[in-house]
Amino acid sequence: MAERLSLTQNIHSHSSLMASSLGSAAVSSRFLSSAAATKLSFSSSAASSRSFSVASSSSYSSLRCLRFSPLISQRRSSVNATNGGYSTAATTKCAASDPDQLKNAREDIKELLKTKFCHPIFVRLGWHDAGTYNKNIEEWPQRGGANGSLRFEVELKHAANAGLVNALNLIQAIKEKYAGVTYADLFQLASATAIEEAGGPKIPMKYGRVDVSGPEQCPEEGRLPAAGPPSPAEHLREVFYRMGLNDKEIVALSGAHTLGRSRPERSGWGKPETKYTKAGPGAPGGQSWTVQWLKFDNSYFKDIKERKDEDLLVLPTDAVLFDDPSFKVYAEKYAEDQEAFFKDYAEAHAKLSNLGAKFDPPEGIVVDGPTPEKFVAAKYSSGKRELSEAMKQKIRAEYEAVGGSPDKPLQSNYFLNIMIVIAVLALLTSLAGN
Ligand code: HEM
């Protein structure tokens, strides 16, 4: 423990060194330069056309939408005072992220997870972007939270974020492919998708988080929890209550440690390798909390309760979940009942992912709408290719004209009715002929 505490105390300088050895400077300058380049191109277009203002992060976001999102919903003239003048500027209002691009990005994240086994680090990425939230600060982005600030070097270099540059490296290609998805959304999308793909519960997510625009908007260091504080329960409450989370949510969210590993060269915690990690998958090494550390289940609670296996990690902040009387109620329950854990985890994760976020539109974007109604008539077609929407509508209209529906086979009495109508028409025709 003494060794661990001294490691924690020295962690800042240690992990800054590690971060640079992992190439964070190079990567971050790539992030910074791409953001700066985008902003520059906005500035020059503003200068030449006098149409746009680039003074605020929201106008930056709107302009990015103008270039990349099909969701341009309105264009209006407004008096813009944010750049120090009272010029009339045409602003474009649209969602922070494009729903179709969010869906496609999610598919790409799934593919990445299959090849890189990066579920744990994506969950940690989303948590560390959101977990800086301070409910006592009203202003955005000073309040911190899920706003994409973790992409900037200044925040990546915080001791708590050691190693997360690797997550950014992995996700950057997807960000470049889907410019209509904000970093803030992408981090949370990657985290929720990782939980679901690892066998965890479906998280009731919404999207549309606006990104901060520059490193000066990053939160100060020290808002995330430490793993070995002198009074773990007090520390966890201080940090998580500041985020507006309660004891149940602290315990449920800690259950995310069912995934992943701790690496001494990053956080200072954990063994360099164990029998469960020496062969990967992904980069080998580190110490996991559970045996199957890529599977999301309730084994974290079972394992830290039993503490039987020297190769499994128990941080002081994990151990306290079974020591503190209030935390213990939930920890015991989750060790017994995976369904209860999944339910509480899904709710707490969604809440965490929204902390401090500014949504555009304000109600957010839900990308998991109800599954569209299946068009049954299509299965009676040649089967070679899907019917066009126009053709489906035509077939539907024809079915409905005879009182039927393409969603279910015609009842035999419909045919009977048709036969009767034909017979009557034939009779009338022959009568008219006579
Ligand atoms: C309760 C306070 C918490 C503390 C003190 C804590 C501390 C840590 C530490 C020291 C590591 C090892 C990092 C490394 O060496 O690479 C870690 C990893 C991890 N943490 Fe936490 N954590 C906490 C809460 C959370 C929460 C709330 C979540 C998610 C909802 C989370 C998700 C993870 C994941 C998935 C990993 C594994 C990352 C990987 O394998 O790369 N943690 N955490």
Return the ligand 1 atom nearest residue 118 CA. 41
Distance (Å) from CA 142 to ligand 1 centroid: 24
Res. 388 pLDDT band, cuts 50 70 90: low
* Ligand 1 near 356 CB (within 6 A): no
Distance (Å) from CA 42 to ligand 1 centroid: 38
* Ligand 1 near 200 CB (within 6 A): no
* Ligand 1 near 165 CB (within 6 A): no
**pLDDT given for residue 16 in this prediction:** 34
Cα–Cα separations (whole angstroms), residue 175 to 25, 120, 351, 354: 19, 19, 24, 20
Report cis status (omega within 30 of 0) of the bond before 361: yes
CA-closest residue to ligand 1 atom 32: 124
CA-closest residue to ligand 1 atom 37: 260
Return the ligand 1 atom nearest residue 267 CA. 15
**pLDDT given for residue 427 in this prediction:** 87
pTM, entire model: 0.72
12, 140 in Cβ contact below 8 A? no
Return the ligand 1 atom nearest residue 270 CA. 15
CA-closest residue to ligand 1 atom 14: 262
Return the ligand 1 atom nearest residue 348 CA. 30
* Ligand 1 near 191 CB (within 6 A): no
* Ligand 1 near 317 CB (within 6 A): yes
Mean pLDDT of 198-220: 98
Q: By percentage, how much of the chain surpasses pLDDT 90?
A: 63
Res. 417 pLDDT band, cuts 50 70 90: confident
- Per-residue pLDDT for 266 more than 80? yes
- Least confident range from 53-57, 229-233, 248-252: namely 53-57
**pLDDT given for residue 239 in this prediction:** 98
Mean pLDDT of 40-51: 30
Tokens describing residue 301 = 């609670």
For residue 300, the tally of other CB atoms under 10 A from its CB is: 27
- Least confident range from 74-83, 116-125, 293-302, 372-381: namely 74-83
CA-closest residue to ligand 1 atom 41: 121
d(CA 105, CA 176): 10
Return the ligand 1 atom nearest residue 265 CA. 15
**pLDDT given for residue 42 in this prediction:** 29
* Ligand 1 near 15 CB (within 6 A): no
Return the ligand 1 atom nearest residue 264 CA. 15
- Mean pLDDT of all residues belonging to the chain: 79
d(CA 11, CA 178): 35
Distance (Å) from CA 123 to ligand 1 centroid: 9
* Ligand 1 near 245 CB (within 6 A): no
**pLDDT given for residue 430 in this prediction:** 85
**pLDDT given for residue 95 in this prediction:** 87
Distance (Å) from CA 255 to ligand 1 centroid: 10
Phi, psi of 294 (to 5 degrees): -110, 10
Q: Quick one: CA torsion of 356, 125, 300, 324, rounded to 10 degrees?
A: -40
**How would you label 112-141 residue by residue, b for 16+ Cβ within 10 Å and e otherwise?**
bbeeebbbbbbbbbbbbbbbbbbeeeeebb
- Per-residue pLDDT for 55 more than 80? no
* Ligand 1 near 121 CB (within 6 A): yes
* Ligand 1 near 18 CB (within 6 A): no
- Per-residue pLDDT for 173 more than 60? yes
Mean pLDDT of 87-114: 80
* Ligand 1 near 195 CB (within 6 A): no
**pLDDT given for residue 332 in this prediction:** 98
CA-closest residue to ligand 1 atom 6: 227
Mean pLDDT of 361-371: 84
**pLDDT given for residue 30 in this prediction:** 39
* Ligand 1 near 271 CB (within 6 A): no
pLDDT in tens, 324-352: 999 999 999 999 999 999 999 999 999 99
Spell out the residues 6+ positions from residue 428 whose beta carbon is closer than 8 angstroms to its own.
none
Known catalytic residues are: 128
Distance (Å) from CA 100 to ligand 1 centroid: 31
Mean pLDDT of 41-56: 30
**pLDDT given for residue 396 in this prediction:** 66
**pLDDT given for residue 120 in this prediction:** 98
Res. 165 pLDDT band, cuts 50 70 90: very high
d(CA 35, CA 211): 11
CA geometry: angle 396, 397, 399, nearest 5 deg = 65
292, 298 in Cβ contact below 8 A? no
Q: Pocket of ligand 1, candidates 119, 121, 257, 304: which has the most ligand atoms within 8 Å of its Cβ, to mutate?
A: 257
**pLDDT given for residue 420 in this prediction:** 83
Q: Quick one: CA torsion of 361, 243, 150, 155, rounded to 10 degrees?
A: 140
Higher local confidence (pLDDT), 229 or 94: 229
d(CA 259, CA 120): 5
Higher local confidence (pLDDT), 318 or 6: 318
**pLDDT given for residue 414 in this prediction:** 61
Cα–Cα separations (whole angstroms), residue 5 to 36, 112, 177, 320: 39, 36, 43, 16
d(CA 220, CA 158): 9
Q: By percentage, how much of the chain surpasses pLDDT 70?
A: 67
* Ligand 1 near 240 CB (within 6 A): no
Return the ligand 1 atom nearest residue 121 CA. 41
pLDDT in tens, 274-295: 999 999 999 999 999 999 999 9
d(CA 261, CA 271): 9
pLDDT in tens, 105-130: 999 999 999 999 999 999 999 999 99
**pLDDT given for residue 429 in this prediction:** 85
Cα–Cα separations (whole angstroms), residue 347 to 103, 276, 327, 352, 404: 21, 30, 17, 9, 43
Higher local confidence (pLDDT), 431 or 220: 220
- In whole angstroms, how large is the CA radius of gyration of the chain? 28
Residue at 229: amino acid letter = P
pLDDT in tens, 56-75: 333 333 334 333 333 323 32
Q: Quick one: CA torsion of 280, 285, 288, 290, rounded to 10 degrees?
A: 30
Distance (Å) from CA 257 to ligand 1 centroid: 6
- Sort 111 into a burial class: Cβ within 10 Å, 0-12 / 13-18 / 19+: exposed
